[in-house]
Amino acid sequence: MEFVNCINKTLTTNYLNQALIMESYNKVWRIFFAFSLAAIAVQQVICGVFKEAIMPPWPVIITGSMACIWIFSLVLFLANAAIIINANARAIAFYMGWVFLAMFIGFHLPYQIKNNLYSLGAWTNSLKLFAYSGGAFIVAASFPKKLGSAVNADCFVPMGRIFFGIMLIVFGIEHFVYPTFVAMLIPAWIPGQLFWTYFAGAALIGGGIGIALNIQLRIIASLVGIMIFLWFIMLHIPRAIADPYSDHGNEITSVFEALGFSGIAFLIAGTGKQRLFM
């Protein structure tokens, strides 16, 4: 009996240690996600425009209003600051996911269907908000659930994975539809730009399918996170330094987005790891 108790105590200790390690990693990935959106909120105020990954150019009554830009950006900044400092963060991230989804359905979808139905590349920014919506659900579920909490974010993890996976799949397809344009984004010091264009496209499609369908989730999501983080360092930061002003700082926005999406991917990998300890 004493031997069994010793085994149980060891297993419990190992479980708690693993859980603490996972939570420490999750804090970093949540900061990646929240910092990216908080930075975009600040950028919107500085530039005086909605970034198109947040709002399309329609409806003008909203997108053309400085009051709307400032109010929305302030709320977005405060919400993500709360996630970073873990102040009622689980609920805030959960409701943020629904707000982003409502914005995607209510603003992005009508605008894109009317203006860009058959232009795959024009859907890029809308799909980023779609992925941020899914990422917010993933972020919410990554926080330990408190007793009495009315927010059951865990149920929406599969939906969050699907949203993020869809974005990856479409972005991967774009590498094959617009290979010349994508190859131009690869730094000149890297040889074989066209090869890496197709390779990255295949990796995005495979990663998106694996994440959406929960196939080898830990490995695939981790690889996707590493890939996007490498793009953050090797591609987006140098491009932002070279051209920080064009299109209201679009290259800088891409830096923040890459950081946020890598954080989402690593959090998804974490949800896969957590299943092993439960």
Q: Where are the domains of the chain?
A: 2-276
- Mean pLDDT for the chain overall: 92
60 phi and psi, to 5 degrees?
-60, -30
What confidence score (pLDDT) does residue 45 get?
98
The pLDDT of residue 7 is above 60: no
**For residues 164 and 26, what is the distance between their CA atoms, to the nearest angstrom?**
17
Tell me the pLDDT band of 140, cut-offs 50, 70 and 90.
very high
Query: Which residues touch 138 (CB under 8 Å, ≥6 apart)?
Result: 157, 160, 161, 164, 264, 267, 268, 271
| Length of the chain in terms of residues written | 278
What confidence score (pLDDT) does residue 152 get?
82
Instruction: Name the least confident of 133-147, 176-190, 239-253.
Output: 133-147
**For residues 51 and 36, what is the distance between their CA atoms, to the nearest angstrom?**
13
178 phi and psi, to 5 degrees?
-125, 60
Tell me the pLDDT band of 110, cut-offs 50, 70 and 90.
very high
**For residues 50 and 203, what is the distance between their CA atoms, to the nearest angstrom?**
31
* 0.85 surpassed by pTM: yes
What confidence score (pLDDT) does residue 276 get?
39
Write the pLDDT tens digit of every residue in 195-204: 999 999 999 9
Tokens of 196: 């890496």
**For residues 141 and 91, what is the distance between their CA atoms, to the nearest angstrom?**
9
CB 106 within 8 A of CB 133: no
The pLDDT of residue 207 is above 90: yes
Tokens of 19: 């859980």
**For residues 198 and 73, what is the distance between their CA atoms, to the nearest angstrom?**
36
Tokens of 172: 């991967």
Q: Name the percent of the chain lying above pLDDT 90.
A: 84
What confidence score (pLDDT) does residue 277 get?
38
What confidence score (pLDDT) does residue 274 get?
52
